[in-house]
Structure 1
Amino acid sequence: MPVQTQKKERKIKPIDGNSPTVRKMDFEGLDQLSDYYVAGNSFITHTVNAYHVIFPEGERFFIKSVKAFADQVTDPDLQSRIKGFIGQEVQHGKEHEKALEMLEKQGRPVSRILKFYAKTAYGFFWPVLEFIFGKKLKLAVTAGLEHYTASLGEVSLKYNLHDQAEGEMRNLLLWHACEEIEHKSVAYDVLQTISKSYVLRIFGFIVASVMFWGYAFTLQHLFIFSDPKIGFRRYFADLISARSYAKLIVFEVGKMSLLYFKPGFHPNQTGGYDLANAALATI
């Protein structure tokens, strides 16, 4: 059953894909959440925990990738959207870092998992890829990852998956999903300004796909294997219980990911803005 949340009064600007807005939310009470704060399920909760680790460093990666080419953007509207994009990503990183503090208080090995992620992704994979293929690939990967995060956000909102999360975590996940939809075309439009190469775009998306699914699975299981409350029986019981969620996300996000391979694709074609607006009003 969804966890009921007492609504906190907030004045929130509506979603506008043409002008992303920085919303400083300052979510509180995350330290009051239970160990398995999403549907009481350890498998789903540790999947979300994995993304709490991924997002702060990931947001900084997105910002650097876009900033590296921002001076080549002459369109004033896109320049304005870049500023909104950067501001939103900074806020996302801050709120997910609060979630990491909550996980540390729960006794999760956040520092070890974060160290593993930072060393492998940003100490090895990205430097090697940038050395071989240059900064344009990082921008292409960022555009691809933005398509994934927006797709995941849209699926979450469409099927009310965020309502399975307790307290302010529900609002944090919902807000992040809405803003991912709002700014989903910014990195893509910067990439198209720099290079319209279909090969670059698709290669970047393939790398993004490996990173998106690979780190989600790996970090999720690092949390699971370090959790003393999860034994053999609990693992498979929660895995079976989470199957409907997993199938929904993999199928729906996978279906949306295929759109990226269309030669004439643009993120705006998937819409989702009205859905995000309606959802954001519930915070």
Structure 2
Amino acid sequence: MSGIYRADLLAGKNAFLAGATSGINLAIARRFAELGAKVFIISRSQDKIDAAVAALGGDAAGQVADVRDYEAVENAVAACEAAHGPIDIVVSGAAGNFLAPAAELSSKGFRTVIDIDLVGSFNVLRAAYPHLRRPGAAALTISALQSFMPARQQVHACAAKAGIDQMMRCLALEWGPQGIRVNSIAPGPIGDTEGMARLTPTPEAQERLTATIPLRRYGESSDIADLAVYLCSEAGRNVTGALMVSDGGQTVGGSAIEMGQ
């Protein structure tokens, strides 16, 4: 358990998370559960849900739902509220990505990433909206550095993440008067889970990438989980419409993201 937060910080909170059966999003779900939240997760795979729920323990539960299927997400959100009451925290983190030069990327491939990342994030937040506690609920999307930095072989991901962050700002504007906060987190390279590290697998590529990071370290999934706790707890009660970057300073240089093998 992270020692920087009080052990019962999220006690009594009801959290709904999409894409939380692996990687960064599972780390966030785990941290929420450790701090006392009741966690409900969705994924396309029942086996992955079962494994994640078993690992989370406590009051954790889950249901199969593809974020691209609005009705399935809507049903899962309703099940979450039925189990634990109004939703205090919703996290949309389901994502799809792969490397592909724009000139070789098919329309289907481009649309797949847009549908999972951008449309999926809208579906999760929109379906959760009627069930959010007012005032006090917090919504969080998981973005990426590609939201605001160009990246070779990532036109699909860049477009999707930029759309997610602008959507987040619009929702923060519209939902703020009801006491609902909406923010995004953009992780940099993560060394202990899926994500950027998976897209730069060779030691040479990782060495080149690390050299571009001022802190000279890959992040850890716990860094993102702790930032998520801040944004979704009372500590972040005055923060909304914000894109919070956790990248060790990688974007300070302002150059294009290099993701070659």
Q: Same fold (TM over 0.5)?
A: no
TM-score by length of 2: 0.31
User: Could you say which structure has the higher helix fraction?
Assistant: 1
Greater gyration radius: 1
Larger fraction in strand: 2
Q: TM-score, normalised by structure 1?
A: 0.29
